[in-house]
Chains A and B, each alone.
Chain A
């Protein structure tokens, strides 16, 4: 892409040269005690990548076991632990921290702030992740093995298992506390530290989506904390919140869990919308079509996300009126989501498009997330869902939303901002190879799971009937292609950090947010000590 040069605003980075003595301390203490938003963002991103590889290894073990019918590699109990911890690790350890990493790096730079509003709390919210991850992964090594009830932690199964459940509950508490602190930090930063002239409606869409996501997190994380605390007291302190024998109701857990769980889906996808909304205009060389509509649609999705949770529970036995209500509400949430898809397409329409790696991942996101959205609409229809519930169709649906949705957006964002962060260009050839291996591997792994689900193969079972063999084998081959191609991604990132062609300050000529127009590449350790003036 072009190496457009431009005039720097002197307020921003030029101070950095005079402030070299304020650079980071060396060694471990730099990372342990850092309050710098860029350092903390980097740690979040590396942490999430480590968890992604860990959760991915569990997924590959699951797929290896499912390569053929019968039990080959793992015990059924361990298989159940794998599916459970894979889900928890990917949701809470990989996707969410990756987006917080992006927020740390980008929110202050995009609004012209020097750092986050509460830098020490920022450090604390990152370092809380480590004990939580150790508890989750360590639970594999305690008597009884890791939690095996599915990531939804449904009672009564969850009440009956060993101490790993307590470790999981504590891990969820810690992760929740970390998320709430991160959200408070992000909201306060956005509302209070914007540069002069940076009105709310001038903010890049990534900042907008994170502002709304942070409110969602603050609203629902305490709900999850309440739910798992009730599980804990049911297990150890003689309460019967979810125990029918004591007058409780296990269905209540499902309602509480999914009141958290559905907004959680949007917590994982709204920042992805934000990243894609930065990338598509940059490579189409046109402003984002319908900026205002995008802000309004994001707000609308956030509000509606609180009234659709029952669609996870159509087979529980709610009254027909309840099922109908959640079916209608779920179908209506597709309207603002559709508005976003159309806006991205309209942004590309008649643009001077080029397809560097970030754009490839963004377009991949657009195509595949739409498939995930449509299969979601299929599942929103109550009678259809009653047939497909707990089958591989559901597994295919949410992987299209969370892998080719959230994860592809994360990959797109990494390639997009890596030159700004490191000062080096990544290898475009290897980046494109990574994209195509991911794209092909992902679709080979997950598209056949629609067929398996429609044919009736249940999820979370280590064995299956013979007629499902071929599609399972194809799915496993795809999963291994996808999984191992992420090692190529690791190589690309490390080699870009270590060296490579010098990245221009405005790497992408169509990118126009403050980090591109006001800051050099690589960005100095301290930026915007004097706020820029935004016109």
Chain B
């Protein structure tokens, strides 16, 4: 699961090393990537919202 989060993190940036990506294709299942993607998207929204709260305080 940790690998899935790592892959999703890099996907948010949009960059991935070739050997890391080849390792991803071997060790990750689609279910793990989708779950990690949804959790990371939620976390991303919450982090942004936290920054907004900080700025508007």
- A residues apposed to B, CB below 8 Å: 199-201, 290, 292-293, 296-297, 299-301, 303-304, 306-307, 320-321, 324-325, 328-329, 332, 335-336, 338-340
A307 proximity list for chain B (CB < 8 A): 41, 44-45
Q: Is the CB of A296 within 8 A of B10?
A: yes
Q: Which one of A200, A293, A332 contacts B15 once the chains associate, using CB atoms below 8 Å?
A: A293
Q: How many residues of B contact A (CB 8 A)?
A: 23
B51 proximity list for chain A (CB < 8 A): 328
Secondary structure dominating the interface of A: helix
Pairs across A and B, CB under 8 Å, 27 listed: A290-B15, A290-B16, A292-B16, A292-B17, A292-B21, A296-B7, A296-B11, A296-B14, A296-B16, A297-B15, A300-B12, A301-B14, A303-B12, A304-B12, A307-B44, A307-B45, A321-B52, A324-B52, A324-B55, A324-B56, A328-B51, A329-B45, A335-B13, A335-B14, A336-B14, A339-B14, A340-B14
- B residues apposed to A, CB below 8 Å: 7, 10-18, 21, 25, 37, 41, 44-45, 48-49, 51-53, 55-56
B52 proximity list for chain A (CB < 8 A): 321, 324-325, 328
A340 proximity list for chain B (CB < 8 A): 14
What residue in chain A is nearest B11 (Cβ atoms)? A296
Shortest CB distance B46–A (Å): 11
Q: Is the CB of A297 within 8 A of B14?
A: yes
Q: How far is the CA of A332 from the CA of B25 in the complex (A)?
A: 26
Q: How far is the CA of A167 from the CA of B52 in the complex (A)?
A: 42
Secondary structure dominating the interface of B: helix
Q: How far is the CA of A328 from the CA of B51 in the complex (A)?
A: 9
A199 proximity list for chain B (CB < 8 A): 25
Q: How far is the CA of A12 from the CA of B49 in the complex (A)?
A: 54
Q: How far is the CA of A512 from the CA of B27 in the complex (A)?
A: 28
A299 proximity list for chain B (CB < 8 A): 11, 37
Q: Is the CB of A297 within 8 A of B11?
A: yes
What residue in chain B is nearest A191 (Cβ atoms)? B30
Q: How far is the CA of A322 from the CA of B55 in the complex (A)?
A: 12
